[in-house]
Structures are given as C-alpha cells and as structure tokens.
Amino acid sequence: MKPIRLVAGFLTVGLWTMLSRVLGFVRDILIAGTLGAGPVADAFFVAFALPNMFRRFFAEGAFNMAFVPMFSKRVEAGEDAEGFARDALSGLATVLVVFTLVALAAMPWLVLAMASGFRGDVRFDLAVDFGRIVFVYILFISLAALLSGVLNATGRFAAAAAAPVLLNIILIVLLFTAESGVLAETIVIGTAAAAGIEGLHHGTMLAIGVVLAGLAQLWLLWRAAATAGFDLRPRWPSMTPELKRLAIVAAPAALAGGVIQINLLVGRQVASFFEGAIAWLNFADRLYQLPLGVVGIAIGVVLLPDLSRRLGAGDDAGGKNAFNRAAEICLALTIPAAVALCVIATPLVSVLFERGRFTAEDTAATALAVAVYGLGLPAFVLQKVYQPLFFAREDTRTPLRYAFWAMLVNAVVAIGLAPLIGYIAAAIGTTMAGWAMVWLLARGAKGLGDAAQFDDRFARRIWRIVLAALGMGVVIWGLSVAMEDALTTAGLRYAALTLVVAAGIGSYFALGQVLGAFRISEFRAALKRR
C-alpha cells in the first residue's frame, strides 16, 4: 500500500467513524436530556459497558490482532484464507455462545465486579436487569468484528467503518419511540419495575436497541463479506493446526486486552462510589473518543494489515515509511484536538449536554474529566500506531507485559487519589496509564529494527505541529472568552460553538501550512484517491 493509499484508507475509515461519532453525540445528547446523570443513566452505562468490555477482550483487542496478520499473509500467499476465516468464525461463535449463557446467569456478580458502589442501591437492580438484555450484544458484535477484520485485511474498509453508524441510528430512533413507553412496558425488567423510577422506559428501550443494533451490524458485514467473495457461513468447529496457532498468538493479546479492560474497570469502580460520576465520565469519554475514534482507530485498522504485508515481504523501508506517515497524520490531527479539549472543555460540555436533567453542576464535573482525558489523547492514539509494529510480527507477548505495568500505574493513581480528590482520580489514572504505555512501547520498539524508527521528515514536522496547535489554542480561548454570553444563551450557543470550532480548525490549518507542519495538498491528494 503506497503512502497515498495508506492515507486514503485512513480517510475512508475516519470519515465513516466521524459520522458514527457525530450521531453518537446526538444519541448522548438525547440520553443526557432524558436520563441526566441519575440512577437509570448510571445503571445503563454500566450494563452497556459489560458486553463492550468483553467484546474488546474476545474480538477487537485480542482475536483480531492475532487474526488479521495471519489472514493477511494467507491472502498474500494465495493460501486458503477463506477456509481459515470460516474456522475462526465458527470457533469464536462457539466460545461466545457458551460465555454469553454463563454471563447471563452470573449477571449480579458481574455488575458488582464493575460497580461495587451500587451494592444496596436501586442502581444495582437496574444494572442487572439492563445487563441481562444487552449482554447478547457481545455475540453479534464480536462476530461482526471478525468479519470487519476479513474486509480490512483485503483493503475493503468502507462497510466495516460504516457498520457502527447503525448502532447510533437505531438507538436514536428508539429513544424517540420510548416517549410513548408502549414497547418498553412489554418487557419485564424484574425488581426495578416496581421502583417507579423516572426514565425507566428510556433505559429499557436503549437496552433493547443495543441488541437490535448488534444484529443489524452482523448482517451488514456478513453481506459485505459475501459480496467480496468470502463465503463465511459457520460450520461445525474443529481445532485445526491453524486455529491452534491462532489461539497461541491470541492468548497473550487476550490477556493484554483484559489488562486494558481492568484499567477501565478500576475507573468505574472508583466512580461508582460517587453518585453521578459514572455518567460524568461516560459523557467525557464520548468527547475524547471522537478524535480517538476518527484518528487512532482508523489508523490502527489500516496500518496493521499494511505492515503485516510489508514486513512479511521483507519490505522494511516501506514499513518504516508507513509507520512514520501514520504517526505523523495521527499527531497532526490529535494534538490540536487535545489542546481544544483542554481549553474549551466547559463550553463543549455545556452546549452539547446541558439540558433537561443534565444540570450546570453536571457540566462542571464532566468538563473537568474532559480536560484530563484531553491531556492523554495523544498517548491513546500513539498506542494505536505503535502496537501494530508488534502485532504484525505476531508478537503479542511484549505489549502484554507493557499493559500490566500500565495497569499498575492506573490502579495506584486512581485508587490512591480517590479518597483525596474524588471521582476525577479515575480520569487521571487513565491518562497517566496511557502515557506510561506509550513510553514502554516506544522503548520496546527500538529493538524492532529500522522500520520502527522515526525518520527525518517526522522529526522536522512534529515540533511545528505542536506550535500550530498551541497557536490554535490561543485563538479558541480568546474567542470563547469574548463569546461567553453567546455560548450560554439558548438561541445562540450552537452557532457560537460552531464559530469557535471553525475558527480553531481554520487557524490550525493556516498556521500548520505557514510553519511547514504539513501540506494541505497532501490531504487533497489523499481525498482524490479515497
């Protein structure tokens, strides 16, 4: 994959991810307005986190990081890639069905493991009831993640990138439907049903929508794979030599994925002892996940199969160029995003979420978390750039070791500081763990040869990117102060925030062009090839 095609693939994934995240904001604006930061919101976010946590453990984090390089090499060598994918799909489906049944029975214990602060609270009953609905999502979305790996490994990025859009569309539609409460009242949700809690129907409809969305995403990707010529209908699973090799490679990645999820688990445990904190951290997470999803996830999806092919063919020079251009474009887009999240956190949260049951106090608490996560954003993205260097070599053990150290940093900071500074300790722990992981990955990458080293072009451009981002920060800070009244006025705040963001984007790209941080023509060329 030539550099221009690497960037074009990134833009394909990035643009679809951007659409998904924008719709995600619409979804979260509706959730904030209807549920606020109350018990139903806390319970739903914990319940939804359960299948997402194990999804990353089983599929996106572990299975796919082992599957994609192995599948890519079979495609490149003309071996039976389709047969390997069918065996992998069947094996994963078998494990997931068994795991889902066990998890449904053990839901009360899973909720306590996620949020022990819910014990003896109505939030516990709600989270258990919601969890038993949404957990089925793991089966559909994990299989969809494997199908995405098949498509991405063959250079077909659009369908896999578009699939998450369905989740947000379905949840938005059902949130409006829930206003009547008719369908929600047909679902028996246990002891919480008698609690008379405001917003309960909305929470139930969200849980139902998650399952429907998982099924829709699986169908879309299965059809896309079939159109691409891959017949991936499941068959009776058997432990072939290839699957044994896949399991051996995936096991350390699964453990590493488990460690990353433990980091998130620590944060939720800390937050569960502070009423409303889980919702505050979730809404803050949505804001920093926008640039992380558009940039970091997109580059990771495109870079891993590209590096696997290049390194498998002995093209170290091409691998080095792909790694450097990926790091360059990631930082060119995430450093200004990080600055913006720190500088205008309060206006962002206020305009996007403050309405209905989401109060000014909720805005202040969420904005603080947004700023802390913003400080870690470049680290979260750089992890997506560094990890493919190891995974492309089928080395999943080294990132596992680093993940354990990062987990230790997160636990010490989050748990140690929580009694002193409250819920925000969870966000600080996440950010510090992110930077610790990047430092370890960068140090370990030095032993991977020339392909893992930064080139002269990167060295020339990185400090210019930082300067352009800081200049942009001054511009948007000045505008936000000058437009403070407009940003808090109901009829003007959307237009005012749009103006601040547009000024930030314009000033950053202008400064970047003048300073030589990047060339606008490079982005235009990539768009033409997208």
pLDDT tier for residue 11 given thresholds of 50, 70 and 90: low
473-485, pLDDT tens digit by residue? 999 999 999 998 8
Task: Compute CA distances 431 → 369, 376, 469, whole Å.
Answer: 10, 5, 20
pLDDT at position 337:
92
Calculate mean pLDDT across residues 136-142.
88
State residue 106's pLDDT score. Answer: 93
pLDDT beyond 50 at 459: yes
Alpha-carbon distances of 488 from 359, 442, 479, rounded to whole Å: 13, 43, 14
**What is the structure's pLDDT at 188?**
43
What amino acid is encoded at 55 in this protein? R
Residue-averaged pLDDT of the chain: 80
Q: Which of 219, 55, 84 is nearest to 145 (CA)?
A: 55
Q: If pLDDT is split at 50, 70 and 90, which confidence band does 51 have?
A: confident
Per-residue CA distances from 66 to 57, 96, 104 (Å): 12, 17, 28
DSSP class of residue 58 equals I
Instruction: Select from 348, 346, 373 the least CA-distant residue to 361.
Output: 346
For the stretch 411-452, pLDDT in tens is: 999 999 999 999 999 999 999 999 999 999 989 888 777 767
Question: What are the respective helix, strand and coil percentages of the chain, to the nearest 5?
Answer: 85, 0, 15
Mean pLDDT of 317-344: 85
Three-state secondary structure call for residue 359? coil
With cut-offs at 50, 70 and 90, classify the pLDDT of residue 465: very high
Q: What is the DSSP letter of 60?
A: I
pLDDT surpasses 70 at 365: yes
User: Is pLDDT at 507 greater than 90 in this prediction?
Assistant: yes
Checking if the pLDDT of 527 tops 80, the result is no
Q: Rounded CA gap, 288 and 297, in Å?
A: 13
Of 141-155, 167-181, 214-228, 467-481, highest mean pLDDT: 467-481
Query: What is the DSSP secondary structure assignment for residue 116, as one 8-state letter?
Result: G
DSSP string, 138-190: HHHHHHHHHHHHHHHHTT--HHHHHHHHHHHHHHHHHHHHTTT-TTGGGS--G
pLDDT at 14: 62
Q: Which helix (H) or strand (E) covers residue 196, if one does? A: none
Closest listed residue to residue 350, CA positions, set 489, 505, 500, 176: 489
- Rounded to whole angstroms, the Cα distance separating 342 from 339 reads 5
Between 425 and 518, residue with greater pLDDT: 425
Taking the CA atoms of 449, 455, 458 and 460 in sequence, report the sign of the dihedral they define. positive
State the pLDDT at residue 471: 96
How would you label 296-323 residue by residue, b for 16+ Cβ within 10 Å and e otherwise? bbbbbbbbbbbbbbbbbeeeeebbbbbb
The residue among 325 and 169 whose pLDDT is bigger is: 169
The secondary structure element, H or E, covering residue 193 is: none
Supply the pLDDT for residue 367.
94
| Cα gap 297→450, rounded to integer Å | 24
The two structure tokens encoding residue 235: 């068959």
The most confident of 139-143, 156-160, 368-372, 398-402, by mean pLDDT: 368-372
**Structure tokens belonging to residue 238:** 């058997």
Q: Which residues, 6 or more positions from 350, have their beta carbon under 8 angstroms from its beta carbon?
A: 360, 363, 367, 487, 488, 493
Count the alpha carbons within 13 Å of 365 in the hemisphere toward its beta carbon.
24
Give the pLDDT band (50/70/90) at residue 171.
confident
End-to-end Cα separation, the chain, in angstroms: 13
Amino acid letter for position 343: V
270-302 pLDDT, tens digit per residue, is 888 888 888 888 888 878 877 776 665 556 555
Nearest to 45 by CA among 120, 101, 111, 122: 111
What pLDDT shows up at residue 255? 61
Is 146 or 471 the better-scoring residue by pLDDT? Answer: 471
Q: In Å, what is the CA distance from 36 to each residue of 23, 202, 337, 344, 452?
A: 18, 12, 26, 22, 46
Using pLDDT thresholds of 50, 70 and 90, give the confidence band for residue 62.
low
Among 389, 388, 379, 390, residue whose Cα is nearest residue 433:
379
Residue given tokens 């306590």 in the structure block? 112
Top-confidence residue, 247 or 266: 266
| Angstrom distance (rounded) from CA 189 to CA 478 | 50
pLDDT class for 101, splitting at 50, 70, 90? very high
> Among 39-53, 420-434, 495-509, which is the least confidently predicted range?
39-53
Measured between alpha carbons, how far is residue 158 from residues 17, 151, 163, 294 in Å? 10, 9, 9, 13
Average pLDDT of the segment spanning 518-527: 62
- Of 173, 118, 169, 199, which is closest to residue 16 (Cα–Cα)? 169
Report pLDDT for 256: 59
Q: Report pLDDT for 478.
A: 94
Domain coordinates of the chain in residue numbers? 1-36+259-453, 38-238
State mean pLDDT over 337-349. 93
DSSP 8-state assignment for residue 135: T
Letter string b/e over residues 179-194, b meaning 16 or more CB atoms within 10 A of that residue's CB: eeeeebeeeebeebbe
What pLDDT, on a 0 to 100 scale, did the predictor assign at position 525?
A: 53
- Cβ(458)–Cβ(327) under 8 Å? yes
Residue 453, pLDDT score: 81
